[in-house]
Amino acid sequence: MQQEASPDNELKINGINVIYYDKGAGDAVLFLHGWGSNFSLFKPFLELLSQKYRAIAFNLPGFGGSSEPGKPWEVNDYAEFTIEFLKVMGIKKTAIIGHSYGGRIILKLCGGYNKNDLPFEVTKLILIDAAGIKPKKTARQKLSAFLYKIGKKVLLFAPVKKIFPEALSDWQNKRGSADYKAASPVMRATLVKSVNEDLTDCLAKINVPTLLVWGDKDTATPISDAKLMEKMIPDAGLVTFEGAGHYSFLERKEQFRRVLASYFELLI
């Protein structure tokens, strides 16, 4: 029988200190949190699933006390790290639940790898307000990007940089999103790499049952993304929480508990 560990633990993988949660026994269910977050948001649901499963989560490198990577990472690096984490934990079979950026990692894992190349079996998925589909730029956004490239070249011009050494950094801070502004230089570069990667091509390659859970008022990953995923993933279904936004699983906590209980055959 699987020995139960203390829910909150720390280990080192490839030189990175990782904070993780591990409770329960049996087949595993892994939670992957979103950008700028940590697994603490999932704790009520981890506790619920630990009644029947081995509920596992870890704070992605760069978040929630887990150390940052030594250089900017791409989504593939986080997918590789997730594979290594599950290997270290001795997981051979797991369901995976991912919110936002965690969903992005799932798309890479289950659509970017041949399943025979993974050292574990993925049994089912839940994608919650998942990222991964790169939105098409409007004419205004294209113009803004063009002007940014020109402005960046000007501010990097040696004489200008010498006179105004902080100008580029200040300008980037003003333009960036809240996530970008809050991040360290390494994590900012990681965020840029991630949002510029379109994982739409991964969708049709996902060959396990997939439940999509979405807030219909999500502005970060709009409901149109969910509908595209439902269309392209061969075995997918969509649950929509009316009036909820990007953190639909928290805004509709009791509804999400019932969805989890049904999907994983739990009594609540």
pLDDT at position 179 is 58
Domain annotation covers residue 187 = yes
Give the Å distances, CA to CA, from 250 to 20, 113, 129, 254: 20, 31, 12, 9
Same structural domain for residues 110 and 164?
no
Q: For residue 3, is it within any domain?
A: no
Residues 6 or more apart in contact with residue 254 via CB below 8 angstroms: none
d(CA 146, CA 151): 9
* Together in a domain, 161 and 230: no
Distance of CA 265 to the CA centre of its chain: 25
Sign of the alpha-carbon torsion through 245, 251, 255, 260? positive
Q: What is residue 112's predicted lDDT score, i.e. its pLDDT?
A: 85
Domain assignment of residue 113, yes or no: yes
Looking at residue 137, what is its pLDDT?
Answer: 52
Instruction: Please give the residue range of the domain that contains residue 168.
Output: 139-192
Query: Per the domain annotation, does 248 fall within a domain?
Result: yes
Q: Determine how β-strand 210-215 pairs with β-strand 236-241.
A: parallel
- Which positions of the chain have pLDDT values less than 50? 1-6, 138, 141-148, 151-152, 155, 160, 168, 171, 175
Note the pLDDT tens digit of each residue in 152-190: 455 455 664 566 566 545 545 554 556 556 678 899 999
Condensed to tens digits (0 to 9), the pLDDT of residues 107-128 reads 999 998 876 789 999 999 999 9
Residues 22 and 109 in one domain: yes
Predicted pLDDT of residue 252: 97
Given this model, what pLDDT does residue 168 score?
Answer: 45
Determine the Cα angle at 187 with ends 213 and 19, to 5°: 70
174 and 97 assigned to the same domain: no
Summary count for the chain: helices (H), strands (E): 11, 8
Dig out the tokens for 41 from the structure.
């948001």
Let me know whether 127 and 143 are in one domain.
no
Q: What is the pTM of this model?
A: 0.82
The total number of structural domains in the chain stands at 2
Same domain for 90 and 21, yes or no, is yes
Contact residues for 25 (Cβ-Cβ < 8 A; gap 6+): 1, 2, 4, 53, 54
